[in-house]
């Protein structure tokens, strides 16, 4: 029996990149998986069909992670559709690069809305549905501790907030046995890293990785699946890097 059989998970931003790998992995582990997407309708539909074809259960929900009402509705719909909610993976995130001299307030607000407020809203709503012993797993970034190139200060700030929020929530929810952890991917092969590599100084990123390669989405997803499982019941408040030694 898969270790997550009987569990229900929600992955925000779960249709592409690391999010899709997480959605797929949790489904393979036996969980019924709901996931949100915004612009990636076709990849979302394809992923849901893939999970169902393998004998699993999937639900794709269109929701903007920067809109509080849509985030709340996605959590509620997941709990109502599957009858419960055991695992929340706050994966949705964006990066709008730019240096401080010309960074727009609109871009700043959007980054905060998706990368911080969306996590807060999803978590707050999820714990209203979770029984004791649930799992909350945030997807932060090694950028909160290590930023080798210019133009990503605001992104790093938002991911630093997630690291701090993780520690605080672990205290808030510990009495219920709900664990809260933060997976911090490094340079993973996704559309986001492709854009960063094209920016000035992007060529330095590969040089800084101890393992001399970029990571794969499945390598981050594997840690998420472990944290969602029974073996990780005594791990909470942790910020865990999956970065190939870039921050070593």
pTM of this structure: 0.94
pLDDT recorded at residue 150 = 87
Place of tokens 């997550």: 4
**What ranges do the domains of the chain cover?**
8-242
Return d(Cα 110, Cα 106) in angstroms, integer: 6
pLDDT at 167 over 80: yes
Residue 155 is among the residues annotated as catalytic for this protein: yes
Question: Which of 146, 31, 154, 9 is closest to 87 using CA atoms?
Answer: 9
Mind listing the pLDDT tens digit for each residue in 35-90? 999 999 999 999 999 999 999 999 999 999 999 999 999 999 999 999 999 999 99
* Two tokens, residue 137: 């797993």
| Percent residues over pLDDT 70 in the chain | 94
Residues 6+ apart with CB under 8 A from 195: 95, 97
Q: In which band, very low, low, confident or very high, does the pLDDT at 198 lie, cut at 50, 70 and 90? A: low
Angle value at C-alpha 181, between 117 and 94, nearest 5 degrees:
40
Return d(Cα 78, Cα 35) in angstroms, integer: 9
pLDDT at 206 over 80: no
- For the chain, state the CA radius of gyration: 17
CATH superfamily of 8-242: NAD(P)-binding Rossmann-like Domain (3.40.50.720)
Q: Is 202 exposed, middle or buried (0-12, 13-18, 19+ CB in 10 A)?
A: middle
Of 37, 103, 146, 155, the catalytic one is 155
pLDDT at 197 over 70: no
Mind listing the pLDDT tens digit for each residue in 99-125? 999 999 999 999 999 999 999 999 999
- Average per-residue pLDDT for the chain: 94
Question: Which of 210, 166, 225, 180 is closest to 4 using CA atoms?
Answer: 225
Beta strands in the chain (DSSP E): 8-11, 32-37, 58-62, 87-90, 135-139, 179-185, 239-242
Q: In which band, very low, low, confident or very high, does the pLDDT at 224 lie, cut at 50, 70 and 90? A: very high
């Amino acid at each position: 029996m898969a270790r997550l059989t009987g569990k229900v998970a929600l992955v925000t931003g779960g249709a592409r990149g690391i999010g899709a790998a997480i959605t797929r992995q949790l489904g393979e582990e036996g969980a019924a998986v709901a996931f949100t997407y915004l612009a990636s309708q076709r990849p979302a539909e394809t992923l849901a069909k893939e999970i169902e074809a393998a004998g699993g259960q999937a639900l794709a929900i269109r929701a903007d992670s920067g809109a509080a009402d849509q985030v709340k509705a996605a959590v509620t719909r997941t709990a109502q559709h599957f009858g419960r909610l055991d695992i929340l993976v706050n994966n949705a995130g964006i990066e709008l690069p730019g240096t401080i001299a010309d960074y727009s307030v609109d871009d700043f607000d959007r980054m905060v809305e998706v990368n911080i407020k969306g996590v807060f809203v999803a978590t707050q709503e999820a714990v209203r549905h979770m029984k004791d012993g649930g799992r909350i797993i945030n997807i932060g970034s090694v950028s909160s501790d290590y930023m080798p190139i210019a133009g990503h200060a605001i992104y790093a700030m938002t991911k630093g907030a997630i690291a701090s929020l993780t520690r605080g929530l672990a205290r808030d929810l510990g009495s219920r046995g709900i664990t809260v952890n933060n997976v911090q991917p490094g340079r993973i092969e996704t559309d986001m890293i492709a854009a960063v590599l094209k920016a000035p100084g992007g060529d330095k990123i590969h040089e800084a990785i101890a393992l001399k390669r970029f990571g794969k989405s499945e390598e981050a997803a594997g840690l998420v699946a472990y944290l969602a499982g029974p073996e990780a019941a005594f791990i909470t408040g942790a910020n865990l890097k999956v970065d190939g030694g870039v921050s070593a």
